[in-house]
Every structure is written in C-alpha cells, then in structure tokens.
Amino acid sequence: MPSSIAPEDAALALLEGHFQAMPPVAALQMRIEDFDGRCLALAAPLAAHVNDKGCAFGGSLASLMTLAAWGLVTLRLARAGLAADVFVADSQVRFHAPLFADLRARASLADETEWDGFLLRLRERGRAGLHVDADVTLPDGALATSGRLRYVAVAKG
C-alpha cells in the first residue's frame, strides 16, 4: 500500500512520539527541528528553561543535548533496521557562554567512520557503543555549550 509519508518522516514521527511519551521530555517543551541523515537538531523555548540569571539552565542544555544524541542514534538504528535499547553511558559537557535565546541542540556522530563497526558489533555481540558530539550555539553562531557523549545500544529480542 503506497503511503504519502516518506520512511524518514515516519521514523521522525515515531521518535517525536517516543519523546513526548516521556514525562521529563514533555516538560522540556522541545520539538524536533531538523534531521538531514547525519545531524539531528532539537529546539526548545528559552521561557521554559530560564534559570535565576535569566539565561538557559545548564541542566536543560545538557538534557537537550542528551536527547539530541540519543535521538540521533535511535533514528539511525531504525534506518538500519535494528531494534535496540539505547542508553547514555557517559557525558562530558562544557559550558562556554550563557545563552539568552531559545535553545537549539544539534547532535552528530563524533566519527562517522565508527558507524559500520558499531552496527557490526551490535549485530554480532548484541551490544555496542559509540560517541556522539552535541552542541548548543548562541544566536551569533558561537558555542554556548558543547559535549561528547558515549551511548551503548543493546539489541532487543
């Protein structure tokens, strides 16, 4: 049966559903902004994330980056036809400058060449890890926050 929804859009809709089903994520008021196959961008309004200094709360910035990175791995696994649970294993985040604007987090693989080996290990051993880079930029393009996160995927079933 033909469908008017591209497979990529369906995967994004599924991811959006996953996100909104998680209470802490729904509280972030975030939405998927863009996915070009390699980079996933999420956005959230500053109003939901202001701290005592009127800029974005560090925990919110780290959460949005964590979600972007998790969503990227989840989307790419779905595209590869693999069902797996994806867990964050560790994260290193640097806060460079306060952000007084809406939040936009981007995530992409730290090293695109890691992907094939990651898929192979996941298929053969049922478990594999890889690194994702994420950032949030200021309106002028400079870095507000940047980080590297390691994720572990565990094959389902």
Give the binding site for its own copies (CB under 8 A): 18, 21-25, 27-28, 47-53, 57-60, 62-64, 66-67, 70, 85, 87-95, 98
Question: What is d(CA 75, CA 139) in angstroms, rounded to the nearest whole number?
Answer: 27
Nearest-approach distance from CB 10 to its own copies, in angstroms: 17
Nearest-approach distance from CB 59 to its own copies, in angstroms: 3
Residue 50: DSSP 8-state? B
Q: Which is nearer to its own copies, 53 or 125 (CB)?
A: 53
* φ, ψ (nearest 5 deg) of residue 105: -105, 135
Nearest-approach distance from CB 116 to its own copies, in angstroms: 25
Nearest by Cα to 63 from 136, 141, 154, 143: 136
Nearest-approach distance from CB 2 to its own copies, in angstroms: 30
Q: Looking at the chain, how many residues does it have?
A: 157
Q: Which is nearer to its own copies, 2 or 24 (CB)?
A: 24
Q: Which is nearer to its own copies, 120 or 126 (CB)?
A: 126
Question: What is d(CA 95, CA 102) in angstroms, rounded to the nearest whole number?
Answer: 16
Helices (H) and strands (E) counted in the chain, each on its own, are 4, 6
Q: Which is nearer to its own copies, 61 or 109 (CB)?
A: 61
